[in-house]
Every structure is written in C-alpha cells, then in structure tokens.
Amino acid sequence: METARRVARRQTGNERTYADLLRVVDEWRLFGGEIGGGEEWSKLTRALLAFPADEAFNDRIFEIWCLREIAGSVLRQGAQLIEGPNSLTLNRVRPIYAFALGEKRIELWFQKALNKQHARWTYSDSNQGLRGIPDITVIAEGIHYLVVDAKNRSVQGNTRPEETYKMLGYFENFRPLLGGATNWAVLCFVSLNGFVQQLCSPDSRRVLLTSAHPQVAAQCTFPAQIDAGMAEWMRRWRNGQLV
C-alpha cells in the first residue's frame, strides 16, 4: 500500500519500475486465496485505485489542470497541435504539447528545469548553479519564454508578494536566458472573486497573476485571463516588438 501511494505521488524516483513491481504482486495474488487474495488483496486493490487524500495530490492536480488550460489558450490563439499530449513521465525529455503557429513552433513543458548553464547564482562550495524548475514553461521558437507556477492557494487580497518574488528570482538568476522583453511569467492561484493582477518592468517584461474559481466552473475567469495574457505575449514576439 505504501508503494502504491508513493507511485501515485511520484515520490519513488523510479515510478515505472515500482509500478511494474506492483503489477507482479497483482498477478501473483490472482492465483487464488491459498496464495493471496482475502483481506490483504482487498487492501492492495483499494490502494491501487484510491487517489491520495492529501494536499500534495490536490496541488499536482491543479498544476496539470493549469497545463491543460494553457494548452487550450495556445490553441485559441490560432495555433495547431502537432504533438501531444505526451505522457507526464516524459517531461524531462520532450514537451507535453507542441504547436505550430504559422512557421513558428511553440512547446509546453511540465516541470522541466531551466538550463543551469544560464544560472548566474552558484553555490560557493560546489560552483553548481542554483536550479529553477517552473511548473510549466512555454517556449516559442526556442528563445521566447513564458514561465508559469501554479499555486493551489486561495487569494483574497490584491497582491501576492511572496510568490511574485519567486518569479522575479527566475528573471534574476537566469538573466542570460530570460533577460529579453519577450520573456514573461504567470502565477496561477484560486480565488472566489476572479483575482487578477499584473506587474510590469521598465524593459516591458510582465508577471501576470491569475486565478481560477475553485467551485463553480461558470464563474471561472481563468481562461479569459490566460487568453488575454497569452495573446499579448505572442503579439510581442510575433511582431518583433520588444518594447
């Protein structure tokens, strides 16, 4: 049961192998009650079929939901899907989605580390760069970045400085990669009042703060918020407008 729980939460570091192990146990118990079965078999079945009941699982679901919504927004801007959705287990080696917008290519990556060769801050004892792993990274033409963090946290005010400074940290640490005016960031929260906010820098970069309604789909303005930000971000790099 513990193995099943950890596989579901992607905590083993090798989900495919441990999932294979669970299948072996599954098949072994199917031989009959004299070998397996009974109450222990019922417990294993429940563990395999049950979703984790903790906040970490809910956070992951929100991240995946945001990934799907952002993919939908790219489509609504006129792009064509050319690859995906690929398995999340391939997130380190290939994008979950790839689109064509005219002759331009757009990729959506899930929890892929930014290239550490561009990190400006390094650890003094190892000279290793400080890593950065946004939840979602949208990359156009390999050079225009939209980095997204999904925060399954309820927003009631009109600012979120703690999470915003984290996004600004990406800009600072990965300035060689994210220093251009066409590199923006998005923070996704949940809110009952349609929270939306925007920060702008002198060089025209932006941090968009968006929110999804956690209970009523008809009251959720998240798609409209994302569409507005996505359209403006695309307009900047498609037209070569840097200011």
pLDDT of the residue at 179: 87
132, 145, 173, 206 from 166: Cα distances, Å: 10, 16, 10, 14
pLDDT of the residue at 45: 66
pLDDT of the residue at 34: 47
> Domain coordinates of the chain in residue numbers?
2-49, 55-238
12, 18, 58, 170, 236 from 167: Cα distances, Å: 28, 34, 22, 5, 20
pLDDT of the residue at 41: 62
pTM of the predicted model as reported, rounded to 2 decimal places: 0.77
Please enumerate in sequence order all residues whose Cβ is within 8 A of that of 5, keeping only pairs 6 or more positions apart, or say none: 47, 52
pLDDT of the residue at 238: 85
- Mean pLDDT, the chain cut into blocks of 10 residues (243 residues total): 81 84 75 53 66 80 95 96 92 94 95 93 89 95 95 86 92 92 94 92 91 92 95 88 48
